[in-house]
Amino acid sequence: MTMPNEQDRAPGAASAQTDNLTDGNGNPAEVEELRASLAAAEARALESRDMYMRALAELDNVRKRASRDVEQAHKYAVDRFANDLVGVKDSLELGLIAAGDVETLKAGTDATLKLLKKAFEKAGVIELDPLGEPFNPELHEAMAMQPSAEHVPDSVTQVVQKGYQLNGRLLRPARVIVARTP
């Protein structure tokens, strides 16, 4: 840090004050002490300004870095999941090629379903199959209510369409038929 000298100050600002002091308002020792104090204050002001400018630049860099990271996260959020689904697509294509034999087609479909289930597990997708469970309006969508003496009232008697959750958040509710008292 360089110390400001009298040439850096506004012309006549400090000299006018010191001239007044030497005109009988103070002694030369006090004038020198005031000049030293002024120089120290100016040095602290320059240092504070420098620290302020550095802090602003660092804040701007952090903002840009965070923006770039968020953009990358959005862009590649499903990267792993997409890679897992590529294998599922390949399996479906092979199944279509071998569609002549029903047993081969069934085996290929089972293998493809296993690949898809594994991809879902890795991605945190959980299947909701609530057959026999109590009806939960937060996870299930009632398609109909059916009188039933065999089932507990307000329990799921049939799953029309399975539901799915992603990391605890509902993607799609399970569509169900609910038992009611006859």
Summarize pLDDT for 93-134 with one digit per residue, the tens: 877 777 677 787 888 888 888 988 988 888 888 999 999 999
How far is it, in rounded angstroms, from Cα 131 to Cα 17? 92
Cα 156 to the center of its chain, rounded Å: 36
Q: Which residue has the higher pLDDT, 174 or 74?
A: 174
Q: How confident is the model at residue 12 (pLDDT cuts 50, 70, 90)?
A: very low
Q: Which residue has the higher pLDDT, 78 or 10?
A: 78
Query: How confident is the model at residue 137, as a pLDDT?
Result: 95
C-alpha closest to that of 163 among 181, 182, 136, 144:
136
The whole model's pTM is what? Answer: 0.56
How far is it, in rounded angstroms, from Cα 46 to Cα 63? 26
Average pLDDT (23-31) is: 75
Question: Residue 120 in contact with residue 127, Cβ under 8 Å?
Answer: yes
**What are the residues facing 108 on neighbouring strands?**
none
